[in-house]
Amino acid sequence: MKYNAIFIIICIFSSILGVLLGILNNNLYEFKDSKNENENFNKLNPINPHQKEEKGEKEQNERKERNERKDERKPKKEKEKEEDSIRYKNKLRIAVSYATDNKYIYPTIVSMTSLVDKAGNNTFYDIYILHPGDFTEKSKNFLKSVEKNYYMRTKIFFLDMENKYKGLKLNFRIATPAYYRLSLHELLPDVKRIIYLDGDTLIFEDLTELIKLDMEGNVIMGFLDSSVDAIKNFGFNNATVVCSGVLLMDLEGLRIFHYSQKINDFINKNKGKLTQHDQTIINVVMQGQIAPIPPKYGIWAWLDDSSALAHLKKQRPWLKYNQTEFLEAVHNPAILHYIWPKPFWKKKTAFYDEWWNYASKTGFYNDIYTKSPIPKIKW
């Protein structure tokens, strides 16, 4: 009995072992057959090199998407800082400011476009737009398009003035934003110098030389105005009077000499006497620290030499431009200021075609042509 039991156990074990070996052998044959089939398929169907390229491109795109998703997780300010560092790299950053409202965006965008279009390779303009509280998103996007068109040359910032200076006496030629330039030293505490430009200007040169001018201790430099009697009522007979449409401003100096308080006090005391509005304030309050800018920066748009010389003749003998330099500026301006009339009124002016050429560069030629403000006056 004992031997029979052992024999039975051995038989059962042998049977199980045989089954296991058979299964393993079948699997090996199946693997070998599958491998042979794959090898035969690859021989008959070689991989197309374009498929390899597509696979490589797919992997590249997947990696790019992963990096973009990773980049999206970065804080917005950090991404902007990285982008700006590339845009600013090895460039001179020049601060420029405009003041406008919803009605005056059309000439303003032309001036901005000419400014940035003429920027040198090493120049980058930080443009600050001062606007009232009712300035629309549509107006902002309209002006912001300049940054999209010239991304590596400019960045645009909007500064909401809300209701500041509202209620001061105005006329059809002057809107409240004209006063905003008086607050630049408060609004931009980290900016030392800035170039202020009216929207009715056209720029023909890079403004690096202008921003680097020796101001000789003055806080304001501007184009000499012919209205020399405009501030006589304030006790100034032999004064320096500048046009406020183009200004080189020492914002640091304005802060040091506490001009904010001086300006506010003067406005409160003389609200009804500001015949030239912001220009009156600048020429009275800052008198003694004002100087003429070279005439090519701010020359008015005269159609002929005789009109230009008539302006020159009105200037004081001890404070006037050299005639040769003055006429050179008339014909080859760096900044042209359209006092009267304006090219967007469809009236013939100096450099009329150049102005409309820049209007076409904005991408909004039809809007500018049909919507630019024209005063309702008789010519």
Q: Is residue 8 part of a domain?
A: no
Residues 301 and 315 in one domain: yes
Q: Are residues 324 and 351 in the same domain?
A: yes
Separation in Å, CA 56 to CA 48, 49, 64, 238? 13, 11, 12, 78
Residue pair 131/179 in contact by the 8 Å Cβ criterion: no
**Residue 99 neighbours by CB under 8 Å, 6+ apart:** 129, 130, 131, 177, 178, 180, 181, 198, 199
CB 345 within 8 A of CB 79: no
Instruction: Give the Cβ contact number of residue 238 at 10 Å.
Output: 8
Please tell me whether residues 79 and 113 are part of one structural domain. no
Q: Give per-residue pLDDT as tens, 18-53.
A: 545 555 455 444 444 444 544 544 444 454 555 545
Q: Identify whether residues 263 and 212 lie together within a single domain.
A: yes
Q: Tell me, what's the pLDDT at 277? A: 86
Pair (83, 104) in one structural domain: no
Q: Are residues 69 and 103 in the same domain?
A: no
Q: How far apart are the first and last CA of the chain?
A: 137
Residue 259 domain-assigned (yes or no): yes
The Cα 362–Cα 365 span in angstroms is 7
Q: 182 near 281, Cβ under 8 Å?
A: yes
Is 243:225 a contact under the CB 8 Å cutoff? yes
10 Å CB burial of residue 11 (0-12, 13-18, 19+) is exposed
Report if residue 27 sits inside a domain: no
Structurally, the chain folds into a number of domains equal to 2
Domain membership of residue 34 (yes or no) is: no
Residue 33 lies in a domain: no
Check if the beta carbon of residue 276 is closer than 8 Å to that of residue 270.
no
pLDDT digits 0-9 by tens, 309-344: 999 998 877 788 999 999 999 999 999 999 989 999
Q: Which residues make beta-bridge pairs with 220?
A: 249, 290
Same domain membership, residue 79 and residue 161: no
Same domain, 80 and 123: no
- The pLDDT assigned to 231 comes to 81
> Which range of residues forms the domain containing residue 61?
48-89
Same structural domain for residues 304 and 321? Answer: yes
Quick one: 202 and 58 in the same domain? no
Q: Going by C-beta distance under 8 Å and a sequence separation of 6 or more, which residues neighbour residue 103? A: 175, 373
Regions of the chain where pLDDT drops below 50: 2, 19, 24, 27-35, 37-38, 40-45, 47, 52, 379
Between β-strands 242-250 and 123-131, what pairing exists: parallel, antiparallel or unpaired?
Answer: unpaired
DSSP string, 155-210: EEEEEE-TTTTTTS--BTTB-GGGGGGGGHHHH-TT-SEEEEE-TTEEE-S--HHH
Assess whether 118 and 65 both reside in one domain.
no
- Per the CB < 8 A criterion, the answer to whether 302 and 214 are in contact is no
CA geometry: angle at 218 spanning 224 and 220, to 5°? 50
**Residue 310: its pLDDT value, please?**
92
Q: Which of 28, 56, 89 is the last residue of a domain?
A: 89
